[in-house]
Amino acid sequence: METVIAVENVATVLGGHEIHRGLDLHVTRGEVVALIGGSGTGKSVLLREIIGLLRPQSGRIMLFGQSVWDVAPEQMNALRRRFGVLFQDGALFSSLSVEDNVAAPLFEHTALPRATCRRLARLKLALAGLPADVARKRPSELSGGMRKRVALARALALDPELLFLDEPTSGLDPISGRAFDHLIRLLADSLGLTVFLITHDLDTLFSIIDRVIVLSAGRVLGSGTVDELKNIDDPWLRDYFAARASGRESAHGN
Partner 1 sequence: MSEARAHFDEAGGALIASGAWHADSAKALPARHGKAVHVLDGAGITALDTNGAWLLLDAAGVHEGVEPPELRGFAPQHRALMELVARHVGRTGALPPPRREGVIEITGRGAMAMGGHVVGLLDFVGHLTFELAALIGRPGQWRWREFGAQVRDVFVGAIPIVIGMMFLLGVVFAYLLGDQAVRYGANIFVVDGLLLAMLREVSPVIVAVLVAGRTGAAITAQIGTMKVNEEIDAIATLGLSPLAVLVIPRIVALLVALPLLVFIGDIAGMAGGMLVAKEQLDLSYRMFTDRMLDVIQLKTLLVGLGKAPVFAVFIAMIACRMGLTVSRDARSVGEHTTSTVVQSLVAIIILNAAFAVAFVKLGI
Point out which residues bind partner 1 (CB under 8 A): 94-95, 97, 99-100, 106, 109-112, 114-116, 118-120, 122-127, 132, 136, 138-140, 156, 158-159, 190-192
Closest CB 210 distance from partner 1, rounded Å: 18
Closest CB 44 distance from partner 1, rounded Å: 23
Closest CB 92 distance from partner 1, rounded Å: 10
Contact by Cβ (8 Å): 201, 174: no
Closest CB 136 distance from partner 1, rounded Å: 6
Nearer to partner 1, 174 or 192 (CB): 192
Report the 3 state secondary structure along the chain.
Answer: CCEEEEEEEEEEEECCEEEEEEEEEEEECCCEEEEECCCCCCHHHHHHHHCCCCCCCEEEEEECCEECCCCCHHHHHHHHCCEEEECCCCCCCCCCCHHHHHHHHHHHHCCCCHHHHHHHHHHHHHHCCCCHHHCCCCHHHCCHHHHHHHHHHHHCCCCCCEEEEECCCCCCCHHHHHHHHHHHHHHHHHHCCEEEEECCCHHHHHHHCCEEEEEECCEEEEEECHHHHHCCCCHHHHHHHHHHHHHHHHHHHC
Nearer to partner 1, 120 or 197 (CB): 120
Nearer to partner 1, 119 or 200 (CB): 119
Nearer to partner 1, 156 or 229 (CB): 156
Closest CB 158 distance from partner 1, rounded Å: 7
Closest CB 114 distance from partner 1, rounded Å: 7
Nearer to partner 1, 6 or 106 (CB): 106
Burial of 194 (0-12, 13-18, 19+ CB in 10 A): buried
Contact by Cβ (8 Å): 73, 83: no
Closest CB 251 distance from partner 1, rounded Å: 30
Nearer to partner 1, 26 or 82 (CB): 82
